[in-house]
Structure 1
Amino acid sequence: MAGITEVSHEVAVDAPVDIVYRLIVEAANWPLIFPPTVHVERDDLGGGEERIRIWATANGEAKTWISRRRLDAEAWRVDFRQEVSQPPVGAMGGSWLVRPLGDRRCQVVLLHDYRAVDDDPGKLAWIAQAVDRNSDAELTALKTAAERADGRDEFLLTFDDTVRIEASAKDVYDFLNEAQRWSERLPHVSRVKLQEDVEGLQVLEMDTRTGDGSTHTTMSVRVCLPYERIVYKQIVLPALMTLHTGHWLIEETDGGVQVTSRHTVRINEANVARILGPEAGVAEAKAFVRQALSTNSLATLGHAKEHSRR
């Protein structure tokens, strides 16, 4: 037996310890903060313990696992242990430790211990690379979020588009879930590639036509939860965004369903002038992105409505 590998990653953060600890504890918000995290669901077990299911990327692959966490607010510590791992991980656990270095400065240490399925050296190397990449990305993102002085993010935008469809939740869900057929069904999608190695966890790559006739390529990880929601996060983004996550929410009503497309985006300030012109700012970028995404979402829901009538 090769045994357990133990590794440590850390970062200094210029923010109060309680703010940093709160960002670690509130795992449901991780998709907005941590680049690898797509979706998190939480179950409170009481007594300072909880169970969370995480969908995330590791070495560019979509993965999901279930962890049990113990929260210790007095020690600013969160311990975690995977209850259900996904190969090549055989077992994994660790801790988040937040150590005050003053009133407005602290050190975050992220510990991992793990082993590979069958203690395979190749699988162990894959895990080591994934842990290093994700830990570095998460700690960097945590530092950025915690050090945002006023707690606001002027580049962040969230909005909804809702359509009522006289159809069953299953019919609408199936249309949205079967994204491999979108190039046939949606005029604004010119190419699509869908990979689903684990049921309900999809990697979707597609080329989308814009209003001026050009196309852009995006890649998303999608978490499909029949027949209620499809949650997604783009891992290859258009140039105007540094974050794009959202969901399709299907709610049953009398005689049909109400379907809501939610988008949360963060504007890439560095590209605003290049794409929209030297006079454009964040407000103009938000309006442009909202118009583009709403147009595509409403078009998709319009075609879902027409498809369900057949």
Structure 2
Amino acid sequence: MERVHRLSYAVDAAAPAGTLYTLVADTTPWPLFLADTVHTERLDFDGLTERYLHWAGAEGEPRASLWRRNLDAGRRRVDFREERPEAPVTASSGSWRVERLAPGWSRLLLEQDLTVAEVPGAQRVLDAAAARGRAAADGLRAVAERWRGLDGRLVSFEESVRIQGPAEPVQTFLYEAGSWPGRVAHVTGAEVAEHRPGVQRVRLANRDADGSPYPTDEVRVCFPAAGRIVFKRLRPHPLLAAHSGEWSVEPDPAGVTVVCRHDVLLDGRKTERVADADPARARRYVRELLGRESRAVLDAAQEYAGEPVRALRSV
């Protein structure tokens, strides 16, 4: 036996309708904007229709879901459907709509239809879906209302290193973050939990450039066959409001290129203390800080990958 349940939620935002629609339509930065979203990955997009994977979950336990969406910018509407919902949900679809209320004011409406098998625990599934919808709408509203300074607080960059050797030891080093203390300069402690294969909770004790300690707590989703690890820090560096990114190992006949990408949202109130309210200076400061840390991991990975070679030569 199944029942169809309609969930709906609406929030008003002190932001232009076009700004709010843009945040709904582009899922790429959602890990920086939505607390439960760890990673999004677009699979197909023709300008009107897209398919994307969405890794999200509370308490650092993300699960993947596959979605198809139809985007209508003229009507400021996005229709969506989950392609393979998880039991007891048998169908999930709905829409996001943005309405202009007045100059500088808009309304975001979320409607979702869930077909759920009538089994024990079905109500908990509905309650969780409703909570996720409310959190997503509230999160997008909060970002939209700070849209004037948003571009200045977003920073994306990459660090990379070239290694003349196989990919496997590099991937092993990046995967086994528990081995980083003593190898990576700024990491003084590590705690790694992996309750499901490929999904890690990593807590690191770090030392800042001035020697002061700071902890980070992140979720990592690992794709060993593709040489990728995507991450989101649930507890980022103190200067950041949000931080996500990816480690990737790209092999070729001559060796591998190891890349670390960072996407961050600055905490404007805290960066003022180190940048005298200068957004450009704040971006440079954070870029240098995270770049230095990722280079330390990359250098350690390069050294780790070379260890078998040095040991063989010393025999």
The TM-score range, normalised by the shorter chain, is 0.7 to 0.9
Does residue 1:305 correspond to 2:307, yes or no?
no
For residue 192 of structure 1, report the CA deviation from its aligned partner.
2.2
Q: Secondary structure at the match of 1:271?
A: helix
Letter in 2 for 1:34: L
For residue 242 of structure 1, report the CA deviation from its aligned partner.
0.2
**Counterpart in the other structure of 2:199:** 201
Q: Give the Cα–Cα distance (whole angstroms) in 1 for the partners of residues 133 and 171 of structure 2.
A: 34
Q: Give the Cα–Cα distance (whole angstroms) in 1 for the partners of residues 267 and 227 of structure 2.
A: 31
Q: Which runs of 5+ in 2 are unaligned?
A: 309-315
Q: Secondary structure at the match of 2:152?
A: coil
**Counterpart in the other structure of 1:289:** 286
Q: Give the Cα–Cα distance (whole angstroms) in 2 for the partners of residues 174 and 84 of structure 1.
A: 32
Distance 1:87 1:185, change over 3 A: farther
For residue 94 of structure 1, report the CA deviation from its aligned partner.
2.4
Q: Secondary structure at the match of 1:154?
A: helix
**Counterpart in the other structure of 1:262:** 261
Distance 1:168 1:85, change over 3 A: farther
Aligned-pair identity in percent equals 35
For residue 66 of structure 1, report the CA deviation from its aligned partner.
1.0
Q: Give the Cα–Cα distance (whole angstroms) in 1 for the partners of residues 259 and 44 of structure 2.
A: 27
TM-score by length of structure 1 reads: 0.83
For residue 308 of structure 1, report the CA deviation from its aligned partner.
0.9
Q: Secondary structure at the match of 1:119?
A: coil
TM-score by length of structure 2 reads: 0.82
CA contact (8 A) 2:158 2:262 kept: yes
Q: Which runs of 5+ in 1 are unaligned?
A: none
Q: Give the Cα–Cα distance (whole angstroms) in 1 for the partners of residues 10 and 70 of structure 2.
A: 20
Letter in 2 for 1:22: T
Q: Secondary structure at the match of 1:3?
A: strand
Does residue 1:83 correspond to 2:83, yes or no?
yes
Q: Give the Cα–Cα distance (whole angstroms) in 1 for the partners of residues 111 and 297 of structure 2.
A: 43
**Counterpart in the other structure of 1:113:** 113
* Aligned residue pairs, count: 306
Q: Give the Cα–Cα distance (whole angstroms) in 2 for the partners of residues 138 and 212 of structure 1.
A: 37
Q: Secondary structure at the match of 1:197?
A: strand
Q: 1:110-149 to 2 correspondence within 5 Å?
A: 110-114=110-114, 119-121=119-121, 124-125=123-124, 128-129=127-128, 131-132=130-131, 134-148=132-146
CA contact (8 A) 2:90 2:115 kept: yes
